[in-house]
Structure 1
């Protein structure tokens, strides 16, 4: 899949649909997809004709997270900081963008995929969706603002529990934790459209202004956490537990961590 098609954008009236388009990998986010997503969000930020952004994934999943297979061939010195800058830019854009954002989750929303979903203003998931902040499974910490977004929704104690366990949650479990805002018992697209219609028939400029004020209050904290995640992730990538986690994933077996 080429860079130009790994993220698709469709505009209709005052709505832009941003679709992750790597269905063959469950929309895993490799360098090219991250670069294009960052670029598309930057373009939408200054598009006065768009007031609502829908973030979704093509195929069976929203996003399975970072592309683990590409991690195996990553040049640490050359690639790591470039990738993390894209990730940080996307998280900051989604949280601060002067538009209302909806994330529509079908299938998996895991790791970085869940971090980016949590950056949205409103999250609706299909009733069969599976969600996981599962960085711990490969010896990593959440990035993409995961610490900020989870703590914001759950509080510090529950955030640590969610991050440390890394368990896969059903949509119902995520809703009960208040990690997502709505479960689509029927057609996901229909539920999303109902939300769009409600917002478009509201004083949406006032809603966006309130979002901007709240985002500016919290922007310094998010920026700080993104930097901490970047350098923390670099440290974790150098551990033996991370190497074991990646190898176990590739070999489809349970990892044997040693705290090193």
Structure 2
């Protein structure tokens, strides 16, 4: 079953929650996944911690540092994810990270193990598009993994069309300049024009908006311009220094999705 397509076909105002594997504690990955979906998260984006996460702001960078110190790495993550589909049978699950660790692991083996545990797609922001199309797309497709690509306000119309043609999942609209966890852009008219411009292109794939969305108000605003939104840094912040991370995650999601 294509869980990503099913989610977009059957639901509106989707919430994609990002959390870093191995944070706040090494063995929180599956309990957090189960808690987030149980509270109403529609898509899970599990971050693979990396020492130099270029697209991530200080909150997610900090969580990666903690997770790496806790002992998280790709072999540990794949071992933990053996129980993924028992914990969350139906929710789409994406792995988000950077190309260097994936290449060190071996792209083919990485995709094989990701598919074997039930991962649906990958977000690799630093994967060059030409390399994806020429080298990696056949490997992704062989293992049934969907690539998710990022679009920014500076992305040309030509490139957006190309990303839309190559994607089999959804398009990740970066809400503005900067890294994850940034503040809401002050130039609201420019952001509005950006969202309207993308909507006017009548792209084939659905869209989720991310970067800088931290609360219900921001989530609701994003859903006016796309099929849903991605929240990461605010969730990570909510997990800091808590006694029960899954309970804190569930409270956070309920606060976003409440009517």
Same fold (TM over 0.5): no
| TM-score, structure 2 normalization | 0.34
Determine which structure has the larger helix proportion and give its number.
1
Instruction: Choose between structure 1 and 2 for higher RCO, CA contacts under 8 A separated by at least 6 residues.
Output: 2
